[in-house]
Structure 1
Amino acid sequence: MGTPGAELERLVDIMRRLRAEGGCPWDREQDLRSLRPYLLEEAFEVLEEMDRVGYGGPLRPLCEELGDLLFQIVFHAQLGAEVGEFTMADVAKSISDKLVSRHPHVFGDLRGVEGAEQVLANWAKLKAEEKKRKTGSEGSVLDGVPVAAPALMRAERLTEKASRIGFDWPDLAGVRGKLAEELDELDEAIASGERDAIEHELGDVLFSLANLARFIKAPAEDALRMAIRRFTTRFQHIESELRAEGVPFGEATLAHMERHWQAAKVKEKALPPPARLPRAAITTVRLRVADLPAQRAFWDTVAPRLGWSTGRGGAEEAVYGDGVLRVVFQRGEAPSTGTALILEAPSARAVERLRAALEETRPGSVLQAREGRLDFRDPAGLVWEYTTSAG
C-alpha cells in the first residue's frame, strides 16, 4: 500500500496525462463551467454512501466515492495549473496553512482552550483577522455560507456562525418557545388567507426548525433526507402491494393505501438493528508514566522513525501522533505492565530501520526482532510491537 502522498502524486500525473496532447478527448474538452454538475453529483454520491453507513451498511464503498470526489478536486487543480494560477500542491498547502493558523491551541502557543464552543469562537475571530489582513475589512461572521446551498442547511449554518459571537439562545427552552411562537403566527397567517403573509410566516417556522435542529445537534438537512428515505420506502411498499392485489393504477382509495402505509411502518420497526453501527474512531490513547523526561527522550527518537510528529501538550505531558491518533504520555503512577501496544509498520524495511536505530541509540530496549516484526520496551516499561501484519 502506497503512502497518501505517493498516491496523490500518481493521481495528479494521471490527470495531467488525460488533459495532455494525445490524452482523453472528453477530459480535454472540459472547463470549470462544464465540471460544475459533476462536482455536485460526486458530492451527493458521497453523502448517499454516508447515509448507508449510518444505517449499518459497509464502510468500504465510501472509499470509492471519496476517490471520485477527490478526482474532481484534482481535475479543477489541473485546470488552474494549465493557466498558471495554482497547482494541487497549492490547494493542499492552502488548507494546511489555514488549519494550522486556526488551531493555535494545537499548533501554536494558545493555552486554556476548553471545549468545542471555545474552539469555534476562536475560529471565527481568527477568520475575521485573516479577512481584515487580506481585504482591510473583517466582513461578516456570516460570510462563507454558500448562497446556493440547500436552504435548510444554509439556515442552520447561518445560526451556527452567529452563535460563535454570542448571538444565540441560552437554552433549549428558548429555542423551542420561539418555534411555538412562529407556529402561532403561521396559524394566524393561514387564517387570513394572505399569500405573502403565509409565505413569510412559513419561512420563519422553517428557519426556527433549522435553528432547533442545530441546537439539539440533529442537522435539519440530514433529518429531512432520512424522512424522505422513509417516505420513499413506505410509498413504494404501497405501490408494490397494490400491484400484487391487481388494483388499477390510481384507483386505490386513501383508506386502502393508508392500511398498506401502516403495514410498511410496522415492517420497518420489525427490522433488526444495523449489523454494524458506524465506528467511533480512536483519537487519543493516554498512558501514565512515572518518569516523563525519560519517556519523552525515548519517544523523541522513536516518533520520527514511525512517521509521527511531536505535538503540544501540558508541562506534565509528552504528545505524539500521526495526524489521526495521538499518544499522550502523562506524568503519574504507571499502571501494571503486561499490555502490548501494536503499531502497524508499512514494510519490513521500516521495521529493520527502527530496530537498527533502537539498538544504536537505546541499547537494551529491543526485546525481540524477526522479519517484519519488532518488540521493544520504552522507559515506562510499556511493550510495543511494530509489525507488518498488525490486525
Structure 2
Amino acid sequence: MSASGAELERLVGIMARLRAEGGCPWDREQDLRSMRPYLVEETFEVLDEMDRVAYGGPWRSLCEELGDLLFQIVFHAQLAAEKGEFTMEDVCRSISDKIVSRHPHVFADGQVKGSEEVLFNWEKIKAEEKKRKTGREGSVLDGVPTAAPALLRAERLTEKASRIGFDWPDVAGVRAKLYEELQELDEAIASGNRDELEHELGDVLFSLANLGRFLKTPPEDALRMAGRRFITRFQHIESALRAEGIPLGEATLEHMERHWQAAKAAEKALPPPASLPRAPLTSLRFCVSDVAAQEAFWNAVAPLIGWQAERGAPSEACYGDGALRLVFTPGSAAGSLSGAAPSLTLGAPSVRAVERLRVALEASHPGAVQGAEPQRIRFRDPAGLLWEYTV
C-alpha cells in the first residue's frame, strides 16, 4: 500500500473511532444536515488559502485546509457507512472509475486533438452514463449546483453549453453582447421599473460571467480578489483618517478618494502576485575564486527562486530570502573544499516553479543544468557549487 493510501486508511479509522461507543460526544451527535455548514466553511477556507498562495504565500497552510476538507468527506462517508449506504472505499472507487471512463484518450485507445475535444467527449460520455442509469440522457446543463454562488453558476452554465457548440465564435461577440445588455440596462434605469432593473442587471452580470470564461479568468475568483482589494484600500482610508485625527464619517469624499488612490499606488509598488515564495536555505557562506562570475550568475537566478540581492562587504556577493543570507566571499574555489563540490538543496514551491527555473537557466547559462526531473532540477553555478531545486 502506498503512503497516501495508508494515511487515508488511518483517517478513516480515526473517524470511525470518533463515532463509535466511547468516542467523541460531539461527533456522535452529528448528521448530514448538521454537517452542511462545516463542509461549506471548509471549502471557502481552502479558497482563501488558494488566494494567498496565488499572491506568493506559503503552501503549507493550503495543505492543512485541504486536510480539513478531506476530513469532511470522510465524515460524510462514515455517516453513510453506518446506515449501510456506502463506504469511503466506494467513494474512492466511484470517482476513480468515473475519471478513467471519461479519459479514454489516456486510459484506453481514444485519440483527441486538444482540450476542446476532451470536454466534448466528457459531456458525450457523461450523457451515455446517465442514459444507462436512468434511461434518459438528461440535459447538458445538469450537474451545475443550484446552491452554487450565482456568478460561478453562470460561468459553469455557459461553459457546459459551449461543449456542444452553443457559444460565440470569439471574444468580440461576447464583448458586443455585453455592450448590448448595458444599453438595455440603461433603458431600465431610465424607466425605473424594478422588475426590468432586476432582469437587465441579471443579463449584464450573466454576460460578464461569460466574458470571464472567454478570457480564462474565472469571474468568481476575479470578484473575490476585487473584494479583497476593496477591504485593503478601505482599511487604509480608515487608518489614514485616524492618524489625521478625523473621525470616521466626517471626512469629505474628495479627502477619502485621495487616500484611496494612495492605497492603489502602494499596491502597484508591491512585487507582482506571480512572484514565487522564498526558498529555504540552510548553508550560508562560501569562498569562491571569482566573486564577479558568481554575482552575474546569481543576479539572474535569485529572482526566479524568490531571493534578492543584498548589500554586503565590497568584495562579497550577498543574497537573502528575508531571514537567511547566502554570501560569496573571495577565497579558495568551492569545488576544491574536499575534492568535490558541495551540494545544497533549495525548496521549490511547485513543479511549475522547477520547470520555470530550468527553462531560464538553459536559456541564460547553457550547461549549468546538470540534471532535470519533473519535480527537481540540479544545476552548477560558476564557483562549482552544485544546487538542487526540488518540490
Mark yes or no: TM-score above 0.5. yes
State the 1:273 CA deviation: 3.0
For 1:282-308, what per-residue CA distance to the aligned partner results, in whole angstroms no more than 9, with x for missing partners?
999xxxxxxxxxxxxxxxxxxxxxxxx
1:107 aligns with 2:107: yes
State the 1:144 CA deviation: 0.2
Whole-Å separation in 1 of the counterparts to 2:352 and 2:14: 32
Q: SS in structure 2 opposite 1:255?
A: helix
Task: Give the aligned residue type for 1:204.
Answer: D
Task: Give the aligned residue type for 1:106.
Answer: V
Whole-Å separation in 1 of the counterparts to 2:23 and 2:47: 31
Whole-Å separation in 1 of the counterparts to 2:27 and 2:7: 20
- The corresponding residue for 2:210 is 211
Task: Give the aligned residue type for 1:173.
Answer: A
Task: Give the aligned residue type for 2:276.
Answer: R
Q: SS in structure 2 opposite 1:85?
A: coil
Task: Give the aligned residue type for 2:159.
Answer: E
State the 1:249 CA deviation: 2.6
| Cα pair 2:144 2:153 within 8 Å, conserved | yes
State the 1:340 CA deviation: 4.9
- The corresponding residue for 1:247 is 246
- The corresponding residue for 2:71 is 71
- The corresponding residue for 1:132 is 131
Task: Give the aligned residue type for 2:68.
Answer: D
1:164 aligns with 2:169: no
Q: Which runs of 5+ in 2 are unaligned?
A: 278-348, 356-366, 376-389
State the 1:195 CA deviation: 1.1
For 1:127-183, what per-residue CA distance to the aligned partner results, in whole angstroms no more than 9, with x for missing partners?
000000000010000000000000000000000000000000011111111001111
Q: SS in structure 1 opposite 2:57?
A: coil
Whole-Å separation in 2 of the counterparts to 1:279 and 1:182: 42
1:1-391 maps to which residues of 2 (within 5 A)? 3-111=3-111, 113-274=112-273, 275-276=275-276, 279=350, 281=352, 340=371
State the 1:343 CA deviation: 9.5
For 1:13-40, what per-residue CA distance to the aligned partner results, in whole angstroms no more than 9, with x for missing partners?
0000000000000100000000000000
Q: 1:341 to 1:174 in 2, by over 3 A?
A: closer
State the 1:193 CA deviation: 1.3
| Cα pair 2:185 2:197 within 8 Å, conserved | yes
| Cα pair 2:354 2:374 within 8 Å, conserved | no
Q: SS in structure 1 opposite 2:95?
A: helix
Q: SS in structure 2 opposite 1:39?
A: helix
Q: 1:129 to 1:342 in 2, by over 3 A?
A: closer
Whole-Å separation in 2 of the counterparts to 1:180 and 1:279: 40
Whole-Å separation in 2 of the counterparts to 1:273 and 1:242: 28
State the 1:342 CA deviation: 6.3
Whole-Å separation in 2 of the counterparts to 1:339 and 1:253: 62
Whole-Å separation in 1 of the counterparts to 2:211 and 2:100: 32
**Cα RMSD, aligned residues only:** 2.1
State the 1:247 CA deviation: 1.1
Q: 1:72 to 1:58 in 2, by over 3 A?
A: same
For 1:295-335, what per-residue CA distance to the aligned partner results, in whole angstroms no more than 9, with x for missing partners?
xxxxxxxxxxxxxxxxxxxxxxxxxxxxxxxxxxxxxxxxx
Q: SS in structure 1 opposite 2:125?
A: helix
State the 1:186 CA deviation: 0.6
Whole-Å separation in 2 of the counterparts to 1:192 and 1:5: 62
Whole-Å separation in 2 of the counterparts to 1:78 and 1:72: 10
Deviating more after overlay: 138-147 vs 248-257: 248-257
For these two proteins, the number of residue pairs brought into alignment is 292
- The corresponding residue for 2:282 is none
For 1:244-281, what per-residue CA distance to the aligned partner results, in whole angstroms no more than 9, with x for missing partners?
11112311111111111111111111112354167454
State the 1:115 CA deviation: 1.1
Q: SS in structure 1 opposite 2:202?
A: helix
Whole-Å separation in 1 of the counterparts to 2:39 and 2:254: 43
Over the matched positions of the two proteins, sequence identity in percent amounts to 77
Q: SS in structure 2 opposite 1:65?
A: helix
State the 1:62 CA deviation: 0.6
Task: Give the aligned residue type for 2:52.
Answer: R
Q: 1:21 to 1:137 in 2, by over 3 A?
A: same
For 1:61-96, what per-residue CA distance to the aligned partner results, in whole angstroms no more than 9, with x for missing partners?
110000000000000000011000000000000000
Task: Give the aligned residue type for 2:77.
Answer: A
For 1:325-375, what per-residue CA distance to the aligned partner results, in whole angstroms no more than 9, with x for missing partners?
xxxxxxxxxxx9x9656699xxxxxxxxxxxxxxxxxxxxxxxxxxxxxxx
Q: SS in structure 1 opposite 2:85?
A: coil
- The corresponding residue for 1:293 is none
Normalised to the residue count of structure 2, the TM-score between the two structures is: 0.71
Q: Which runs of 5+ in 1 are unaligned?
A: 285-335, 345-389
Q: SS in structure 2 opposite 1:272?
A: coil
